[in-house]
Structure 1
Amino acid sequence: MRLIASDIDGTILGHDGLISTRTVEAFHAAAEAGIDIVFVTGRPPRWLDPIREQIGHLGTVICSNGAVTYDLGTDKVLASHLLSWDTVEQVKDIVAGLAVEPYFALESLAGLHIEEGFYGARAPAGRAVIVPQVLTADMANGGIIKMLAVLHTGSADEFLELVTPAVGPLLAVTHSAPDLALLEMGPLGVNKAVTLAEYAAARGIDAADVVAFGDMPNDVEMLGWAGAGYAMASGHPQALAAAALQAPRFEDDGVAQVIESRLAALRLA
């Protein structure tokens, strides 16, 4: 074990926005043992405060499902994969032709742009209120890193199954929302595993020496790539099917349990 790669939401971070003391201590122990730590998330760079403030991580975070590599210590983008406005428009038309009343948003390096109706009756809890707008080509000037589509009925699994055959040749389509029909669409060929593999290779670390944790469909490729990919027992069925290993439930500090066990095994080796 030379590198630990962990998803954030539902894996180490709860709906209350907190990371358990046991989990924080497990990551600290791993870092003290000389193990590289990288967090790999669907979150954009501006939503990484829990990692900085609760764990004290100031290293690399792979954001937006692999589209952005970010240095948390300097608050700088190290690398990014961007979407073209032409692709955004094409995908928007396709999804609108397949689903009833989809609403869209764009995540860019400059911020989040949402159109009227995207949030519906939901308020973005704990985050600044964003003024709805019409999505326009000038938003590409900030570097679009993710396209979001939401339905206010149905499930994310159903929405994913509906649009993937048509959108899959244009964008990488996934989801990480357990209770909302929200799709995340990023640059074609880019996912958490692709960018994590690049990160590991730059440090001379083989996949066999990587321990990865995740819980949702956007973690599937990463869990399959890592030498020890752990799906949370509380995770999505697709994540559980993709991973060779299973960590205890999030509610039971599953990530911490696995890290503690592996560190103990290293000390005995």
Structure 2
Amino acid sequence: MIKLIASDLDGTIVHHDGSISDRTRQAFLAAREAGIQIVFVTGRPFRWLTPVIEAFGDLGTVICSNGALLYDLEHDQVIWSRTLPMKTARQAAGIILRHEPQAKFAAETTKGLHLGEGFADRHHNFGIQAPLDLDSDEIDAEGIVKFLARSPWMPMDEFYAAVAPELGNLLSVTHSAFDVSLLEMAHVDIHKANTLNEYCDRLGISAHEVMAFGDMPNDIQMLQFAGHGYAMASGHPLARASARNIAPALDEDGVAQVIENLLS
């Protein structure tokens, strides 16, 4: 019996234009009406949840920043966060720069986004931000939930393969973007599955009672944790290879189709 549905957002239920289809919206609402817990699990910071709020209002809890922060939509508040110090981010930057001297950096904190020089370009709007100074520890007062490194020219999988082996003991490393070569790093114990597991424990729900959906490498641990893990047919090859099940593509409302079959 499924007691909880955990779903990634971008590329899974959120389209490239930021929209969520009405069919998907209705499927999640029907699942909640049937008594199933809904948890959205995303690499997005909690301030970038507009598609979820527009589609579902205060439905569900959101695991943000790849598991580094738990956010209560209903009460509009951060429940829990796991941060890393600037000292660790600085060490990671040093390792990355040895492999990719043109890498640019940013840090997502519990308060906002801090951008290093050259991180953003005209093709990507990262919203409101403050400067990032890698040589200063002042940002520790806010707490870094996600440290970001962007390569302006290396393909994403190549960038990840070059630096991940050296970073593995320092922090967790993943990636989730199709259109930008962007590494996403957090506290070494943080990924989507760990935080989802902790949340399920609070509710008395076991892994075999969880259905999860995702499309990118940052979803792999979550898809493997869930007793019923579905990678999107339109997703990254690594995500598809790691999942027990494949859901139809995003453009086919694949998540909605699976939920509809579950409820029927």
Task: Calculate the TM-score normalised by the size of structure 1.
Answer: 0.94
How far is 1:132 from its partner? 4.4
Aligned match of 1:267:
none
Deviations, residues 28-62 of structure 1 (Å, cap 9, x unaligned): 10011000000000011101121111122343100
Cα distance in structure 2, aligned partners of 1:121 and 1:50 = 23
CA distance in 2, matches of 1:114, 1:262: 43
Q: Give the structure 1 partner of residue 225 of structure 2.
A: 225
Q: Which residue of 2 aligns with 1:134?
A: 133
Structure 1 residue 96 displacement after superposition? 0.9
Q: CA deviation at 1:82?
A: 0.7
- The 5-angstrom pairing of residues 1-269 of structure 1 reads 1-124=2-125, 128-130=127-129, 132-135=131-134, 136-264=136-264
Using the TM superposition, give the Cα deviation of residue 182 of structure 1 relative to its aligned residue in structure 2, in angstroms. 0.3
Helix, strand or coil: the match of 1:89?
helix
Deviation at 1:156, TM superposition (A): 1.3
Is the Cα contact below 8 Å between 2:21 and 2:253 reproduced in 1?
yes
CA contact (8 A) 1:116 1:134 kept: no
Classify 1:222/1:56 alpha carbon distance in 2 versus 1 (closer, same or farther; 3 Å). same
Any idea what SS the aligned residue of 2:83 has? coil
- Structure 1 distance, partners of 2:91, 2:41, is 28
Q: Distance in 2 between matches of 1:65 and 1:75?
A: 19
| Unpaired segments ≥5 residues, structure 2 | none
- Report the Cα offset of residue 93 of structure 1: 0.9
Paired with 1:133 and 1:98, the residues of 2 have a C-alpha distance of 21
Answer yes or no: is the 8 Å Cα contact 1:84–1:140 preserved in 2: yes
CA contact (8 A) 1:65 1:192 kept: yes
Distance 2:133 2:86 in 1: 14
Shift of 1:224: 0.3
Give SS of 2:147's match. Answer: strand
Q: Specify every segment of 5 or more residues in structure 1 that has no aligned partner in the other structure, as ranges.
A: 265-269
Residue 133 of structure 1: how far off its partner (Å) = 4.6
Q: Give distance in 2, aligned partners of 1:215 and 1:88.
A: 27
Q: Give a deviation string over 1:219-247, Cα, whole Å, max 9, x none.
A: 00000010000000000011101100000
What count of residue pairs does the alignment treat as equivalent?
Answer: 262
Please give the alpha-carbon distance, in whole angstroms, between the structure 1 residues aligned to 2:129 and 2:200: 36
Contact 1:231-1:245 within 8 A present in 2 as well: yes
Aligned in 2, Cα 1:129/1:203: closer, same or farther, shift over 3 Å?
closer
**Is the 1:155–1:179 contact (alpha carbons within 8 Å) kept by the matching residues of 2?**
no
CA shift digits 1:75-112 (9 cap, x unpaired): 21111111012111111111111113000000000100
Cα distance in structure 2, aligned partners of 1:43 and 1:84: 20
Secondary structure (helix, strand or coil) at the match of 1:12 reads coil
* 8 Å contact from structure 2 (residues 38, 59) kept in 1: no
Q: Distance in 2 between matches of 1:153 and 1:132?
A: 23
Deviates more, 1:57-66 or 1:165-174: 57-66
After TM superposition, the score normalised by the length of structure 2 is 0.96
- Report deviation, 1:68: 0.4
Could you tell me how far apart the structure 1 residues matched to 2:175 and 2:139 are? 23
Q: Using the aligned pairs only, state the percent identity.
A: 52
